[in-house]
Structure 1
């Protein structure tokens, strides 16, 4: 589903405490404008900087397509994304707004371009995640709260 009013659900949550740290998969987490996902090193906004990559999101369908293209089956968290979205095509434009559950509001900032680290996970993964925003989206937190697996995700703008 795409466009304003489209809905999906939150199918996964993951965070990592420092660069190259193992991903920790969760069933719920607090999200704030000051620190992104609690316990995730990417979310904190540095003084004098704008929040651009507090939360990373990836669509289950895009991850599954990349895995099928490569003929492998890695867990989605190896992408190092924070949130796995199911049943919704994420907006592919800066300024789009999505709501998760009743409280959390995120603004899409940029495409999450796959990095060379993906090649360490699986040869060809970077290329498989490159087309059509398959690598996901980066967002900033507009309004915080707690998100849980199964929460509804809605495109608001």
Structure 2
């Protein structure tokens, strides 16, 4: 269960400056313990949702289920889109992205806003494909192109 085939990669980073406004695509973001990502509206939250991650490989599935040719990462309002590593395997585990250590906390379930973003049935199109929430364990800079690397589990 702890062995993964290879590291993943950050493909896209987005910040949500405020509720209901367009996401801002960036090449890098500063992550701070207890403060989330600088420029993101969720900064300083509960800690379970400091950063939200989405599986790049799920974008075509979500698009197909919602009846679209494609879906842009910003439409789904997650902070990081990563490829090459199964996010579900990071739930309850620590992992490194660039300088930052994160811990996968809970699934990032879709919200009712997906009905507006994707059209009728958008919420259900995302069910099971919403990604992962994570808390920041150790801060630093995240960049597009950074590797997503699981850390060795304690006692393993």
Which category of TM-score, normalised to the shorter sequence, fits these structures?
Answer: 0.7 to 0.9
Cα distance, 1:62–1:71 mapped onto 2, change above 3 Å? same
User: Residues of 2 paired with 1:93 and 1:150: CA distance?
Assistant: 19
**Alignment partner, residue 112 of structure 2:** 116
Does structure 2 retain, via aligned residues, the 8 Å contact 1:96–1:108?
yes
Q: Displacement, 1:74?
A: 2.3
Q: Residues 39-71 of structure 1, C-alpha deviation per residue, up to 9 Å, x if partnerless? A: 1011214xxxx4111100000011221112333
**Alignment partner, residue 127 of structure 1:** 124
Q: Displacement, 1:3?
A: 3.6
Q: Which residue of 144, 147, 155 maps to 2:139?
A: 144
Alignment of 1:33-112 (within 5 A): 33-45=33-45, 50-72=46-68, 73-92=70-89, 94-101=91-98, 103-112=99-108
User: Residues of 2 paired with 1:15 and 1:21: CA distance?
Assistant: 10
Cα distance, 1:10–1:112 mapped onto 2, change above 3 Å? same
Q: What RMSD in Å do the two structures reach over aligned CA positions? A: 1.8
Does structure 1 retain, via aligned residues, the 8 Å contact 2:12–2:82?
yes
Q: If the length of structure 2 is used for normalisation, what is the TM-score?
A: 0.87
SS of equivalent to 1:66: helix
Where structure 2 has 5 or more consecutive residues not aligned to the other structure, the ranges are: none
User: Residues of 2 paired with 1:90 and 1:3: CA distance?
Assistant: 13
Deviates more, 1:147-156 or 1:86-95: 86-95
Q: If the length of structure 1 is used for normalisation, what is the TM-score?
A: 0.87
Aligned length: 149
